[in-house]
Amino acid sequence: MRGPTLRLVCVNDVYSLDNLPRLRSLVRRFATVDPADGFITTLAGDFVAPSLLSSLDQGAGMVDCLNAIPIDYVCFGNHEQDVPAEALAARVRQFRGAWLNTNVPGYEPALPASRVVTVQGEGTRAVRVGLVGVVTEDPSLYRPGAFGGLPMLPANATALDAGRRLVDDQGCACVLALTHQSLARDRALAMAQGDPPVPVVVGGHEHEPYIEQVGSARVVKAGTDALYAAVVDLAWPAEAPAGGPDLPTVSVRLEPVHDYADDPALRALVERHMLPVKALHAATFLRLAPGSTLSSVGARHRQTSVGSLIANCVRDDLCADACLINGGGIRAGREYTETFTYGDLEAELPFANEVVVVTMPGRVLREAVAESRASAPRPAPGFLQVDAGVVVDAQQRVITVQGEALDDAREYRVATVRVLFDGMDNVAPLTRFAQENPGRVPPRDSGRELKMIVVEAFSLALWREIGGFVRVDADCDARVSADELRQAILEASGAPAPALLVDGIFGALDADHDGTITAAEAREHVDCAPPRE
């Protein structure tokens, strides 16, 4: 007679709904074919955000689909903090499974720090298995005020402390740790355990799959977007050991989700949730010349044309000398050969990153670029993408800025992401500069959202392309109306005006918000940022 068995199907870092209908089919198969005595599904953080859809619905569609699979246990990821606190609380209440929160005490609505699963074997033997869920406390991964300023306890130490209580007080044979942190920290957790016994660390945060034996434990990460699911089987002996830990044997397989057919009902649910996203894709920002390609592939380890495009837009719109954007904030990893749409922009820039302009010496600009790129070609989220006016040589040294040799002592107006000065992505020269010059970095929430800056820049580029004020003011009444603007765009491009760009032009130029644009209003903004190559 065999002992009790428990099967887990694990995913992590799910930003897209696309693979979830196939994941549901996979889950049903492993729950019913050669079934274990116990069966649970887990998602180790980063699912509420960031994505194009979550920027519109704050993660409601994702949680709706996770409930339909269903996913039984989740924990926080660092990107759960990318939606407003009220929206995250709503997602917590919406989720039907158990949202484990072991190391952020005081979070509201209240969440369980642990759970116990009882697995009954063929005979009379049953085992109790504890589950805990922790998220990384690494401050470089968060904006200020994460979790409403609540204390974040050390993930590994807290997981072990909670695990000991599960073993000592609730009779658990062992503990499964659901974590969202770096692979190095998961390895450290696997090595540190023993009291309590943790046979499996089910991790998130990395976007590549990892299955490793570390000491007596397995570290399991399925990779991003449910392209794969990790299927973990735990089997206990038929008789409990007379002494020592009651540990299962562990086997793990990485199962490709694309091998499974869509679940029709969940596919229909996904399609309904994605309707607003599809509507946004109609707003074309840029039509590429035949034979040209725009790419964001490798934004964490090399300069990309999408990185340059975004940095150019920000530099020009904010009248800066240079722009630096962390590659980890450019997410889609795609190539574009025909058009670049608002949907593409949302996919590339899913985070609500605040951009500020800081005056800094050329030395800091030079050191920041060089240090951020020091590990290339190994990917690093802090790898700084630069605008086309910043020339960087093969040794990652900034040579020129806007056609002039970099001057270490000269003060440059540099547009960049505000949280880089707080330590996000560990661009040390920027952090040191902020610490040494606290009065020179604008306060938090004083800047503007990166994506909206780019939208405004595309809007103003369209304004210039159609000829500016004189060409658009068709009735020569010294004011441009929304109807005149839409007609001018239609005549110039042969296509209806994307509403987003019409709104962007009025948002940028209509200073008194009276629904029209005067020549003076247009001149004041457009002349600030002349187009640059």
Cβ contact 52:343 at 8 Å:
yes
pLDDT number for residue 533: 32
Of 382, 380, 386, give the one whose Cα is nearest residue 426: 382
Distance CA 149, CA 460 (A): 38
Distance CA 12, CA 45 (A): 6
- Taking CA atoms, 17 is separated from 212, 224, 231, 352, in Å, by 28, 12, 20, 20
Q: Where does 176-223 have alpha helices with state H?
A: 183-192
Domain boundaries, the chain: 5-273, 281-450, 466-526
pLDDT number for residue 458: 85
pLDDT number for residue 280: 67
pLDDT number for residue 526: 64
What CATH code is assigned to 466-526?
A: 1.10.238.10
Distance CA 475, CA 477 (A): 6
DSSP letter for each residue of 58-113:
TTHHHHHHHHHTT--EEE--GGGGGS-HHHHHHHHHH--SEEE-SSSTT-SS---S
What CATH code is assigned to 5-273?
A: 3.60.21.10
Give pLDDT < 50 ranges for the chain: 527-533
Location of structure tokens 């990309």: 304
Distance CA 372, CA 382 (A): 6
Residues in the chain: 533
Instruction: Classify domain 281-450 at the CATH class level.
Output: alpha beta
Cβ contact 429:408 at 8 Å:
no
CA dihedral 302, 306, 307, 309 (to 10 degrees): 140
DSSP letter at 141 equals G
